[in-house]
A = this chain, B = another copy of it.
Amino acid sequence: MRIVITGGAGFIGKKLARALLARGTLMDRNGTVQELREITLFDVVAAEGLPHDPRLETVAGDITDAAAVKALIGPGTGGVFHLAAIVSANAEEDFDLGYRVNLDGTRHVLEACRALGEPIKLVFASSVAVYGGDMPDVLDDGTILTPQTSYGAQKAIGELLLNDYSRKGFVDGRALRLPTIVVRPGRPNRAASTFASSIIREPLAGEEAVCPVERDAAMYILSPRRVIQALIHAFELPAEELGMTRMLTLPGITASIGQMVDALERIAGPEVAARIRWQPDPRIQRIVAGWPPRFDARRARALGFEPDADVGEIIQAHIEDELGGRIG
């Protein structure tokens, strides 16, 4: 089977590629386990830092170019992970770019899949940013979507499209609303949530980090390990278990910033936790306060998706996966 990963140069795309290479197989839509013969990572730049593997291909291209996407997802493609997106703060600053990538790009992926003439599996990375504004204390699968950012609106639209294409039999889609991913490896990005990774990642690497929110700010989070597991699990779920509703919110854990810092101190010591500089930023505080902190993800749990046990497990996983077990 040939698999395409859009946004393949991002950290989730690369981690997913590594996990798929290690696994070697994926279940196709008939429930047959298929050997993975080719994994194509598509992004604006060629993905770097990946192992040399004859099954791996990197393609640099533009998701806003319909012809490029159609050439990418050509005959022989057995499944797509559509991760490419302009992140929240960037989509908010550059309205046109956000819509071109996050809406038009998603339509190009859907159309390229449809052109294949059989409903291949398509896993779409959505976001809890589809929620916002006046929300109940605990959200669930029946909570109305009220995006308060262009990014959230674009993800909600992507879900509607994926659902409609799936209903028509053009694709076998699965949209996962991702919690905030903590701890992201690498450098800060343009997402408003980027600090939630920085306050763990940077101190562990011996660097200072700025925390722009108070200790009691709460976030709904999930580790990179669990996200990769979820993406693969979503791919392999039989279509009949999803039925007509192809979108679901992943189970995460709700943690306050204080809990995150306390866990960091417990695991890495007070001198590491002391590398956090508390410097409240009203703009970031306002954005974070607008995110849903608690979600009862009953549907996803019943379908076999699993959250992390606690913040400590998330930090330990980061130390193992990114730091070779060592704290700087």
Residues of A near any B CB (own CB < 8 A): 95, 133, 142-148, 150, 153, 156-157, 160-161, 163-164, 167-168, 244-245
- B245 to A168, Cβ gap below 8 A? no
Contact (Cβ within 8 A) A161 B157: yes
Query: Judging by beta carbons under 8 Å apart, are A160 and B147 in contact?
Result: yes
Task: Please state the number of chain copies in the assembly.
Answer: 2
Closest A-B pairs by Cβ, 6 of them: A153-B164, A153-B160, A157-B157, A144-B144, A142-B144, A157-B160
Give 8 pairs: A residue, B residue, CB < 8 Å, sorted on A. A95-B168, A144-B145, A146-B245, A147-B163, A147-B164, A150-B164, A153-B164, A157-B160
Q: Write out the residue numbers on chain B whose beta carbons fall within 8 Å of the beta carbon of A245.
A: 133, 146
Write the nearest CB–CB distance from A310 to chain B, whole angstroms.
Answer: 30
A148 touches which of B144, B145, B244 (Cβ 8 Å):
B244
With A168-B95, A244-B133: A153-B161 Cβ-Cβ less than 8 Å:
yes
Distance from A115 Cβ to chain B, minimum over Cβ atoms (Å): 12
Taking a contact as CB atoms under 8 Å apart, the answer to whether A150 and B133 are in contact is: no
A144 touches B146 (CB 8 A): no
Chain B residues contacting A95 (CB-CB under 8 Å) are 168
Complex Cα distance, B168 from A148, in Å, reads: 10
Which chain B residues border A244 with CB–CB below 8 Å?
Answer: 133, 148
Q: CA–CA, A218 to B244, complex, Å?
A: 24
CB distance B156 to A160 under 8 Å? Answer: yes
Minimum CB–CB distance for A198 against chain B, Å: 28
Closest to A96 in B: B111
Chain B contacts for A161, CB-based, 8 A: 153, 157
**Measured between C-beta atoms, what is the minimum distance from A277 to chain B in Å?**
33
Query: Which residues from chain B contact A150 at a C-beta distance below 8 Å?
Result: 164, 168
